[in-house]
Structure 1
Amino acid sequence: MAETLPPDRNRSAGKNRGGKSGKVADFRYKRPPQPDSRSPGGGREPRAKAAGSDARRPMRPVDKNGAGKNASGKPARTRPDLADIGAIRSATHGEAYAALDLGTNNCRLLIARPSGRDFTVIDAFSRVVKLGEGLATTGRLSDAAMDRTLGALTICADKLQRRNVRLARSVATEACRRAANGPEFIERVRRETGIALDIISAEEEARLAVLGCHILLESGDGPAVIFDIGGGSTELVLVEAGNEGSSRVPRILDWQSVPWGVVSLTDTVGRGEDSEAARIARFAAMRAMVTQSFAPFAARVTEAARHPDIRLLGTSGTVTTLASLYLELPSYDRKAVDGLIVPAGEMREISARLSVMTPFERATLPCIGQDRADLVVAGCAILEAILDLWPARRLGVADRGIREGILRSIMAAERQSERSLKALKSQRGNGRGGR
């Protein structure tokens, strides 16, 4: 990214135990490339369908025909930083790139090949691993959580081998940053799977999220906040006005990371939902905790939030899940959700309905299921707190983020490396010709 992020005023630099960023995959992945003829998918334009006005009306699936039209987006153009250049090893034309994001709740892998200044996805993997389950109360990753995660990472390692990936970056975020045994787990992963996970800072996590999804910012002249609600933390980033749909990465003006994500907030507040009154009180407690943590950032962006045309873009399972409910999809459809623009009031309404439902009622809803039923309420509380401090009229939804940011970052660094090498060869050639 062209700009350096301002220091996090609420997180110490010592939280990044992973050392220097930019690790690459084990040598076992460096095999000759094989051709692949798949083509990239398209984006999404917003749909005007609303979910309804009754806060208690049951959410029900409808036919997803007309859920939206595809719209192509321009690829992001980035300037690599030193960490990204450190991740680069020489790659021949056609070889695959990979980005792995191990979060507090999910393990996600994306494998792609360059396509001009963009990339074509050739394989992907996502699994709920709940790595940070219980971390908020114990301070450690549990044996069961680590075993689940290793199972998912083993699948990722197999995919990296089969796709002949020789250029990869694998990162771990809040759960491994906070856990006392985080570094031990990282070493175990390297030993058992060959994947070299890099525990990145909250600053780097915010930067990669912006790099991966900024292209979906709604058109407008006002400043924007891009946020990522994770499993163990939430990142808020204030970016400069304008540049909607531009390939240039917007300049970051301010940012904050707080240690509240859907897992850490749920574990801290507890799961007591025996009555409607208890569910209402629980949701209020979640909102209050998050709002308090956001207070320093909210104070700093007060002036920017007064602009009449502020914009908001979210990348997380929370916003994509709520967007699916807004569209009343019978099952999750990335093409329908990624790039959607939803009225903020509709998202608040859906949050309110979910917060008073029982866990069983939430689990029966399409696009939520058992895996998200006990966590989505915490996500709603975080989203509500964001909408309070940044009262945009609409919310952009992105089903992309850190992995795409990693891919764009290492591809940009590779292009820069190639340009530098060509320039050096040219200089040497000119020098020989002059003697």
Structure 2
Amino acid sequence: MRIGVLDIGSNTGHLLVVDAYRGAPPLPAYTYKEPLRLAEHLDEQGAVDERGRKALVRFVDEARVVAAEKGCSEVIAFATSAVRDAVNADDVLSLVERESGVALQVLPGEEEARLTFLAVRRWFGWSSGRLGVFDIGGGSLEIACGSDESPDVCTSLPLGAGRLTREWFPTGVPTDEQYEALRLAVRQRIAEQAGSLMRAGGFDHAVATSKTFRSLARLSGAAPSEQGPYVRRMLERDALAAVLEELRRMPVDEIAMQPGVSANRAHQMVAGAVVADAVMDLFDLGGLEVCPWALREGVLLERHDHM
């Protein structure tokens, strides 16, 4: 069965076409994506602006056509933080459905964390024991932990790399004062949740997902994506600290030239690294293993289970 998973994130619109078979992992067949940067198309009132709405409608309509051309019998379409938090979310969803015929489901932050956790559990299996999963998106940070396929506890915090960049670094390269203010604010927000997340115990296996973590791991010396998904990739805390010190003083165009960094995300790498550094420090993690599966795979796996 060929299924399309349409993910409208805060940074990117991404259609993943997969072949799903009972008793086998979903096999990617085609991918179609575009940088929408919806988190940066919120006006002063917190509404998705006209430019953002037009880009979203156009991409969703194009993704619908691509999914049909690739033979998808079903398209699972959802949106995350940028649409979820927009004050005009209902109007945006109605516009998209009216113009493209695609009904986007908005995932709550905790549901996003739960489905990402499911994907990580399926990838690494039961031998990982108690999992701690961290995902830095464009608009939010998701954290989940537990010993089963569903996490014992999960949370979503408004600490996405795109959101923080827009709010704290409006002129590009941050000043020392802007950097330090963000660093402390991020740590305070994560620390408010750390106690409840760790109350049931620590982690046997700490895992990171998302493009931000993958890019940071690559900058720290992890294998490039060309070597495939089965190569073990780690983000070490000490290596991240060194990378962060370099990134925070680089102009954006120089960051975009670094290995593993895409041009459309280069401007938010510093904010993403600040969040990753805070996570590893406050949860006392020496390293995070990077998982190639995340939210899209979690959505697909749950749908596959119900087939």
**TM > 0.5:** yes
Q: Distance in 2 between matches of 1:178 and 1:319?
A: 23
Could you say if the C-alpha distance between residues 332 and 136 of structure 1 is closer, same or farther in structure 2, counting changes exceeding 3 Å?
Answer: farther
Match of 2:301 in 1: 408
Query: How far off is 1:221 after superposition?
Result: 6.7
Q: 2:133 aligns with which of 209, 222, 226?
A: 226
Q: 1:252 aligns with which of 137, 151, 156?
A: 151
Query: How far off is 1:179 after superposition?
Result: 0.8
Name whichever of 112-121 and 398-407 sits farther off: 112-121
Is 1:109 the counterpart of 2:15? The answer is yes
Give yes or no for contact 1:98–1:167 (8 Å, CA) kept in 2. Answer: yes
Question: What pairs up with 1:253-268 in 2 under 5 angstroms?
Answer: 253-268=152-167
Match of 1:348 in 2: 241
Give yes or no for contact 1:135–1:264 (8 Å, CA) kept in 2. Answer: no
- Secondary structure class of the residue paired with 2:259: coil
Match of 1:139 in 2: 46
Q: Which AA in structure 2 matches 1:325?
A: L
Q: Distance in 1 between matches of 2:113 and 2:43?
A: 21
Give yes or no for contact 2:213–2:290 (8 Å, CA) kept in 1. Answer: yes
Q: Distance in 1 between matches of 2:289 and 2:125?
A: 7
| Structure number, greater radius of gyration | 1
- Secondary structure class of the residue paired with 1:138: coil
Q: Distance in 1 between matches of 2:231 and 2:8?
A: 21
Is 1:130 the counterpart of 2:37? The answer is yes
Specify every segment of 5 or more residues in structure 2 that has no aligned partner in the other structure, as ranges: none
Q: Distance in 2 between matches of 1:200 and 1:402?
A: 10
Which fold has the larger relative contact order, with Cα–Cα distance below 8 Å and residues 6 or more apart in sequence? 1
Q: Distance in 1 between matches of 2:96 and 2:73?
A: 18
Match of 1:153 in 2: 60
Give yes or no for contact 1:326–1:346 (8 Å, CA) kept in 2. Answer: yes
Could you say if the C-alpha distance between residues 273 and 186 of structure 1 is closer, same or farther in structure 2, counting changes exceeding 3 Å?
Answer: closer
Match of 1:320 in 2: 214
- Secondary structure class of the residue paired with 2:74: strand
RMSD: 2.5
The normalised TM-score by structure 2 is: 0.89
Q: Which AA in structure 2 matches 1:109?
A: L
Question: What pairs up with 1:167-316 in 2 under 5 angstroms?
Answer: 167-217=74-124, 223-240=130-147, 250-273=149-172, 278-303=174-199, 307=202, 310-316=204-210
Q: Distance in 1 between matches of 2:216 and 2:125?
A: 18
Match of 1:370 in 2: 263
Match of 1:57 in 2: none
Query: How far off is 1:270 after superposition?
Result: 2.7
* Identical counterparts, % of pairs: 25
Give yes or no for contact 1:224–1:310 (8 Å, CA) kept in 2. Answer: yes
Q: Distance in 1 between matches of 2:50 and 2:41?
A: 11
Q: Distance in 2 between matches of 1:261 and 1:333?
A: 26
Q: Distance in 2 between matches of 1:216 and 1:407?
A: 13
The normalised TM-score by structure 1 is: 0.65
Match of 1:100 in 2: 6
Query: How far off is 1:310 after superposition?
Result: 4.1
Give yes or no for contact 1:231–1:262 (8 Å, CA) kept in 2. Answer: yes
**Structure 1 or 2: more helix by fraction:** 2
Could you say if the C-alpha distance between residues 336 and 222 of structure 1 is closer, same or farther in structure 2, counting changes exceeding 3 Å?
Answer: closer
Query: How far off is 1:298 after superposition?
Result: 1.0
